[in-house]
Amino acid sequence: MLRKLIKHEFRATARLLPLLFLIVLTMSVAVRFALELLNKAELPFVLQLLLMLFMGLFATALVAVFVVCIVVMVSRFKRNLLGDEGYLTMTLPVKLSSIIWAKIIVSVIWIVLSAIVDLIAVFIAYFTNSSIVASLGNLWDYLMRLSGGNAAVFIEGAVELIVVGLISVVAICLNFYAALSIGHGFARGKMGFSVLFYFVLSTAASVTRIIVLAVLGESVFNVTGVMFLLGGIYDAISEWRIQMAIYGGLALVQSAVFYFLTWINLKKRLNLE
Amino acid sequence: MATLECIGLTKRYGSTEALDSVNLTIEPGKITGLLGPNGSGKTTLIKLANGLLTPTSGKVLICGSAPGVETKRIVSYLPERLNIPTWMTVTQLLNYYQDFFPDFDLERARTMLSNLSIGENMRIRAMSKGTREKVQLIMVMSRRAKLYLLDEPIGGVDPATRDYILNTIIGNYDPEASVVISTHLIQDVETVLDDVVFINQGRIVLRSTVDDIREKEGKSVDALFREVFRC
Amino acid sequence: MDWNFRQDAPIYSQIIEGFKLSIASGELRPGEKLRSVRELAAWAGVNPNTMQRALSELEREGLVYAQRTSGRYVTEEENSVARVRRQLASERLSEFTAFMNRLGYAGEDIIGFIKEGEKPNGNS
């Protein structure tokens, strides 16, 4: 059933974003030509200004992709579960957890796709063939220096970065879902309460993060120090990875709490008009 | 086994009591009218049976089980409001129902849609309110469900649409299935009902068959309803 | 048949009356096949159970008969048709005489009206 839910979730959310992706990629090609034009020829001031403005617009579009992602995610959740459509969605013979997971998975995929599209767009706009190779090479050298020439450490670190990144994106989605589910349990001012609870939940999450990091900050140093003393490799990447693991763990706990809040509110406090 | 059973079913919203210890049994093969004025608890009862609300106390059972994935598979629900996603085309809607409801009869739905000359490429959003309501009813009645819960199916429709709706209901439900129609427009549904349940202020005040009321009281259900609920 | 159900009697009994009238008047011919319960129910705008009940009653009275696989038919027995015809006529007649008596017309007057084709009122 999860597969079918995901299929229809894509069908419902795929109406705006692909178009936006196409616009961003088209703009990136245009920006590239604009840059080449600016470098090669002496252009009139007005035209220069226009090209600069266009590049500003491109930067805005890069951000807009994420904003639209979030807007689509929020409005889909609200309409499909908490509005009139909720009467159908909530009476489908599927588990509530499958419904929530389908939404998380599809939202995460859109956000990751947005990141990839933005990355590609930036590459198209700003990197020449030689500069791509050169900068990738530089990056590699830099990472190798950091990891003390140990490629495995770097690859593990990269995998960890991706995993922690994905968990963080899940936490971001669930922050919205939990806030909407709590807010829409109220008889009046559903959207007002949703916004309020979004800030309550995200503030609670950051406060927890600050406290945990403050407490663990000391011991992180100790852990790496001990590793160094025991003859392990003391390097920037190891320390970074431990910090990242803490962030990942926090995001995981945060996601679990937000997921539970979403589930319990949809289950027990559902308040369709 | 009873298709729908309520045992001491109670639902409170804050301090207001929407349903108060309701005991009710609906047998297979019957069309039951859940009749009561607005705000009497009809919709609350139907929402509880669909698992859209949780009881404050008591139980509601569908074919012996509490509302859940299993019961949702055998209950076909027409809510008061339009619930079909308006951004979908008819084809997408058919596909949606077919994907999620194993008892959905695609051919039956297609026949009914084509009888109304509703094109499958049409978007729900582009339809008139009346057409949307018919499409929604066709979806609900194209399922071969065990229990149909129809909340105010004929509220605010013209007489021709009303006839279409009632004919679609009696022409499509499975003889082994139960149908519950909630409404306050009794005269319009009286001829299609087997049983009636009068509900007022969250309590069941009368339970009878239509024939019994007409035979014993010598009056229509509508006339009796007006007497029972006279202000 | 035109289905305008009265308020004061069960619907199934009104359906029975309707069928009896159709059979007695020959609108439904002897041996004619009836449509399925579901079709008849939809046509009359009633619950299939109600239609089923009416048809069972008609069956019991020998006005229709069921064949196991092919459905229901109007009786071919002339006696049954004649009987229901007389029954309906006598019911109407007693209603009519009761009504005329109430208006103060005696038996002779009534016969007179009928013979002369005179209509005390414009309606039929």
Q: Do A160 and A244 meet the contact criterion of CB atoms below 8 Å apart?
A: yes
What CATH number has the domain bearing residue C42? 1.10.10.10
pLDDT of residue B13: 86
Of A91, A126, A161, the residue at which a domain comes to its end is A126
Say which CATH class B4-228 falls into: alpha beta
Going by the DSSP 8-state scheme, the letter that residue B80 receives in this structure is S
Q: What is the CA radius of gyration of chain B?
A: 18
Type of residue numbered B169? I
Q: What is the pLDDT of residues B160-207, one digit of tens each?
A: 888 888 988 988 888 889 999 999 888 889 989 999 999 999 999 999
Pick among C16, C47, C56 to test the B interface (most B CBs inside 10 A): C47
Q: Where are the alpha helices (DSSP H) in chain B?
A: 42-49, 69-74, 90-100, 106-115, 129-141, 159-172, 186-189, 210-212, 221-228
Number of domains in chain A: 2
Whether the per-residue pLDDT at A230 is higher than 60: the answer is no
Average pLDDT, chain A: 87
What are the tokens at A178?
A: 């939990």
Closest residue to A84, CB basis, from B77, B81, B96: B81
Are A93 and A2 in a shared domain?
yes
Ramachandran angles phi, psi of A175, nearest 5°: -60, -45
Nearest C-alpha in B relative to A84: B83
Nearest C-alpha in B relative to C8: B219
Among A214-223, B28-37, B45-54, C97-106, the minimum mean pLDDT is found in A214-223
| d(C-alpha A56, C-alpha A35), whole Å | 13
Distance, in angstroms, between A105 CA and closest chain B CA?
19
Are A163 and A266 in a shared domain?
yes
Are A70 and A153 in a shared domain?
no
Q: What is the dihedral of CA C103, C104, C109, C115, to 10 degrees?
A: 10
Q: Looking at per-residue confidence, does C59 or C114 come out higher? A: C59
Range of A204's domain?
Answer: 148-273
Ranges of each domain in chain B? 4-228
Q: Do B160 and B193 meet the contact criterion of CB atoms below 8 Å apart?
A: no
CB contact under 8 A, A94 and B100: yes
Whether the per-residue pLDDT at C1 is higher than 60: the answer is no
Q: Looking at per-residue confidence, does B52 or A51 come out higher? A: B52
Are A175 and A220 in a shared domain?
yes
Q: Which residues contact C109 (CB under 8 A, 6 or more apart)?
A: C100
What percent of chain C stands above pLDDT 70? 93
Q: What is the pLDDT of residues A182-197, one digit of tens each?
A: 999 998 899 999 999 9
User: Biggest alpha carbon distance in chain C?
Assistant: 55
Any domain includes C87: no
pLDDT of residue A218: 62
Q: How many CB pairs under 8 A join A and B?
A: 55
Whether the per-residue pLDDT at A111 is higher than 50: the answer is yes
Average pLDDT score over residue span A143-164: 78
Three-state DSSP class for residue C66: strand
Any domain includes C92: no
pLDDT of residue B156: 77
Q: Do B60 and B5 meet the contact criterion of CB atoms below 8 Å apart?
A: yes
| d(C-alpha B132, C-alpha B7), whole Å | 36
Distance, in angstroms, between A96 CA and closest chain B CA?
9
Among A88-102, A213-227, B153-167, the minimum mean pLDDT is found in A213-227
Beta bridge partners of B57: B10
Closest residue to C41, CB basis, from B29, B170, B219: B170
Q: Is A188 touching B (CB cutoff 8 A)?
A: no
| d(C-alpha B220, C-alpha B190), whole Å | 8
Are A110 and A6 in a shared domain?
yes
Q: Which residues of B touch C5 (CB under 8 A)?
A: 191
Q: What is the CA radius of gyration of chain C?
A: 18
Are A157 and A111 in a shared domain?
no
Among A42-56, A132-146, C103-117, the minimum mean pLDDT is found in A132-146
What are the tokens at B204?
A: 């069941």
Average pLDDT score over residue span A62-69: 95
| d(C-alpha A207, C-alpha A204), whole Å | 5
Are A270 and A185 in a shared domain?
yes
What are the tokens at A103?
A: 């939404």
Whether the per-residue pLDDT at A149 is higher than 50: the answer is yes
Whether the per-residue pLDDT at B226 is higher than 50: the answer is yes
Pick among B30, B115, B150, B211 to test the C interface (most C CBs inside 10 A): B211
Q: Is B203 touching C (CB cutoff 8 A)?
A: no
pLDDT of residue A220: 61
Q: Do B75 and B147 meet the contact criterion of CB atoms below 8 Å apart?
A: yes
Q: ipTM for the complex?
A: 0.93
CB contact under 8 A, C49 and B214: no
Whether the per-residue pLDDT at B96 is higher than 90: the answer is yes
C124 falls in which pLDDT band (50, 70, 90)? very low
Any domain includes C85: no
CB contact under 8 A, A91 and B87: no
Burial of A108 (0-12, 13-18, 19+ CB in 10 A): middle
Nearest C-alpha in B relative to A273: B81
pLDDT of residue B69: 95
Any domain includes A142: no
CB contact under 8 A, B214 and C10: yes
Q: What is the pLDDT of residues B104-157, one digit of tens each?
A: 999 999 999 999 999 999 999 999 988 999 999 999 999 999 999 999 998 878
Range of C17's domain?
Answer: 11-78
pLDDT of residue A146: 67
Burial of B96 (0-12, 13-18, 19+ CB in 10 A): buried
pTM for the predicted model, two decimal places: 0.87
Q: Is B211 touching A (CB cutoff 8 A)?
A: no
Q: Which residues of B touch C47 (CB under 8 A)?
A: 31, 170, 191-194
| d(C-alpha A212, C-alpha C40), whole Å | 74
Any domain includes C46: yes
Q: What is the pLDDT of residues A243-263, one digit of tens each?
A: 788 889 999 999 999 999 999
